[in-house]
Amino acid sequence: MFRNTTKLCIFFLLFTVTYQVLSSAKPKFLLIPQTSTKVDVPKNSSVLIKYKVTNQTTFTRTLTMIPIAGIRQITTGQGVCANPFTLTPNSSCVLHLDALGSTLPPNGVHQGPVVCKVKTGNYPDPFLCSQAAANNQLNVTLINQPLPTSSIATIVNFASRTVSICIANKDSGLLESCTNTDPFSTEIAVLTISKDGKYAYLSGGESKSVTVCNHDVSDGALSNCKINQLNFGSIFGIALNPGNTKLYLGAEPVVVCDRNQTSGVFSGCKPAGPTISKPVGIAFNDSFTKAYIGVLEENSDAGTEVAVCNVNQNTGMLFNCTFIPGFNGPAGIVLNIAKSKAYIANAGNDFTGNQISVCDIQPTGLLSNCTRIGGLVSPIYIALNPQATKAYVSNFNADFVSVCDILGNGNLANCIQAGNGFNKPAGISIN
């Protein structure tokens, strides 16, 4: 035991000395993130981070990752790097790293991962190692506040202009003990809740307004609601940026507003850039450099594209949008915690769709490898629970909300009714 510990200590000393030399040259083993590397992990949860590892040498190499406290390497699955793993020249595998809140050091992890050639005795060779570029290294922060054992589901009933507030069971995913608010005076279809849970923003339809309510994080109750009339088109999408400093509205065009994080008040609303026909779902990556927008309609027919736009992080303006085809009236959009998957509700023409698209998010931010999950009834909006184990889907032309399991690979399965008795359920949030 003492001998093994001594060898590891010698390795880390040698690595510290030699890496500065190696990092200045072309890396022997290229590590490119496939998910966001900047993540917050609660004590009772975990986040999956992925890197594509490519052998850029002209020799077949057997490699290993240097262990990191609080980071568990997952070694099973198609295309996943084992431990150790062997790569022929120019071949790749995907390193799956599970950041475990229960074992992370208090200060988190803010470097690595480091991949090295394996030498005799299954020890890393400190003279042949590479790690991710500085801006792609692990940046994992431990959050002391644990995730709750149950969540609050907030669901807009479009037909009755009410909001249902339910308990979302963490284990079963079922919606329980639902109550309804009094009807709102204006039409509502969508909602979003601030990251701190203090404010709810509701909008939708022909009301051309946004209602801001105080939101009670303990029971989901809405109070002190104030209507803000706007001079834009009908609004069927609403979202806050990751920093909660911008409020976006799915009008024509998409609208961006400044938001005061203390008071919850928004102001300075203006078109965010290019005109997008019937923008509905709006989602962002963690770094606030990409926006994903569902194009519900095109020339009165069901839209077929999702817009992926660059975002100016300072102004919030959208630009250089790429339109990804292959959808059927794409409406609500949500990204998984790792930002490696996008879930898109295909509402269909006149809300006759019955599928959700599950797409990979490439390092460029574009969508690919989209597959569809069926069994829904006019799915329109999607939300994930805080544990990122369940996806909730509002079925607009039915009276129920579906819940699906999120598998380890990010795919959806086992979609069932989570609760019924809703009245054209639309916008949904799980907090």
Q: Where are the domains of the chain?
A: 2-143, 150-430
| pLDDT for 2 | 41
Compute the average pLDDT of residues 102-112: 93
| pLDDT for 289 | 93
For all residues of the chain together, what is the average pLDDT?
Answer: 88
pLDDT bin (cut points 50, 70, 90) of residue 367 is: very high
Helix (H, G, I), strand (E, B) or coil at 70: coil
Distance CA 87, CA 161 (A): 58
Q: What are phi and psi of 351, to 5 degrees?
A: 60, 45
Give the other-Cβ count within 10 Å of 110's Cβ.
Answer: 11
Asked whether the domain spanning 150-430 has the same topology as the one spanning 2-143, the reply is no
Arch. (CATH architecture) of 150-430? 7 Propeller (2.130)
Distance CA 4, CA 25 (A): 31
Token code pair at residue 408: 């380890």
CATH classification code of 2-143? 2.60.40.10
Model pTM score? 0.73
pLDDT bin (cut points 50, 70, 90) of residue 148 is: low
For 25-70, the pLDDT digits (tens) are 689 999 999 888 888 888 877 888 999 999 999 999 999 999 999 9
For 377-401, the pLDDT digits (tens) are 999 999 999 878 899 999 999 999 9
| pLDDT for 149 | 63
186 has a pLDDT exceeding 50: yes
